[in-house]
Amino acid sequence: MKRLLAFLFLTASAFAADSKPDVLFIAVDDLNDWTSYLGGHPQTKTPNIDRLVARGTAFTNSHCAAPACNPSRAALMSGLRPWTTGIYTNNDPAQGVLKDVVTINRHFMANGYNVQGGGKIYHNINAEGRTDSWTKWQGLFPSANDHEANMNGLGRGHFDWGSIDAKPEDMGDYKSTSWAIDQLKNAPTDKPLFLALGYVKPHLPWYVPQQYYDRFPLADIKLPVTKEGDLADIPKAGVKMAGPESDHAAVVKADQWKKAVQAYLATISFLDDQVARLLDGLDQSPRKDKTIIVWWTDHGWALGEKEHWRKFALWEETTRTSMAIVAPGVTKAGIESKAPVDYLNIYPTLCELTGLPLPEHVKGASLMPLLKDPSAKWDGVAICSHGKGNHSVRTDQWRYIRYADGSDELYDHSKDPYEWTNLAGDTSLSDIKTKLAASLPAADAEVKPTAGDKPKGSGKGKGKGEGKKKKEKKKADE
């Protein structure tokens, strides 16, 4: 902590509010590529997410650093990969491991920004209410999210869905949007604003008001595109990640697949309505023309592809994300970049866009060349890790997965966008495998238990809504 405080003291500067752009930093929980502009599902309706990303550069081949909330957010916010920190899964400690790391919010705060945070930014929601992390931390907002009885009949905890008797304004994300709009319109103007808003939906359970379900009649629902026997050419380590005998078997047996797809689409639609309110609020604020927008979803989500559900795997559905950057004076509207990027690129990009110094530990490449010219040469790849020793590499054409036991998978996206044919055993592609594997670490850090971390869900923050029922908080934390 002494090193951190020394850094904050040495780098703190009194920047004039009009010399630095504001930043609207939007995180979304569990949203995959089911947005209209990415085409992940033909029935999804996201006109406002589309409206947001169309304001700048949308990265259509963006991927998380890890397909789980905790390691994905820890990597993005710290600029450090899971194999460096030892934060691989939701159960690995993060708060203590990162206690001396200059994270994005700390860096902006040290450099004169009014750093406001609300909703879900880090996985351990309550642990980030510390004075060294935020000018003010609001935390979660109370939500009409609880339902005492399981609604889908599966009896699998928060893996549940169904409409609830509530109004949109009763939902936590509605309230957090109202809070963010108020910040945009009324935050003091003596400092530039870094506003971090973390949306919880479409995280499970998929409980939203009936009006959102009505937008997607069950009789018309289309299932994701799948292939029977898709796991036949997958190594044992991959099949274990898929867990076909778990969620997928339960969903199919209970005839809940279409209902689950309907529920996910409905919950995304609720989120999209909040994005509409947020954009309108920004446009009505004095910050409209000087605000950088960073839009990111923490990982993908599977709904039966490869007989897998949730995140927690290294295939396209679980690593691909929705990500866009709007930077006044830098980006142009309606631009898409197909370059393979991941979330280690966000920290250095934000520093370059705002003119902040780059902390020494941040090694990712800035996306500035692609923001200026989406066709610019890009040598980077997107790397995703899930558990110690398990990694995937994504380029414009290939996905290579290597598991801790040495087994692997290789997919050619130019011919196989659904990753149905594992080419890892094709000896003619050995050079490609070797080249892709060169981006992976020779060794992975061990998980680092620290005294600074409490068991998941045990934090006691003081932000708005933090004192709600333990059941609700546990759902948001998972």
**Which DSSP state fits 153?**
S
Q: Which helix (H) or strand (E) holds 253?
A: helix 249-253
How many helices and strands, by DSSP H and E, does the chain display? Answer: 15, 18
The pair of three-digit structure tokens given for residue 166, joined into one six-digit string: 């509530």
Q: Whose structure tokens read 């966000």?
A: 346
Beta strands in 285-437 (DSSP E): 291-297, 302-303, 309-310, 323-326, 335-337, 341-342, 382-385, 391-394, 398-402, 408-412
Of 123, 203, 299, 308, the active-site residue reads 123
Q: Is 123 assigned a catalytic role?
A: yes
Q: Quick one: which of 452, 360, 356 has its CA closest to 1?
A: 452
Q: How many CB atoms lie within 10 A of CB 429?
A: 16
For residue 248, give the DSSP letter: I
d(CA 233, CA 229): 9
Relative to beta strand 391-394, strand 136-139 is: unpaired
Among the listed residues 64, 69, 351, 384, the single catalytic one is: 69
In three-state secondary structure terms, 443 is coil
Q: Give the E-state strand segments of 210-360 in sequence order.
A: 291-297, 302-303, 309-310, 323-326, 335-337, 341-342
Catalytic residues: 69, 123
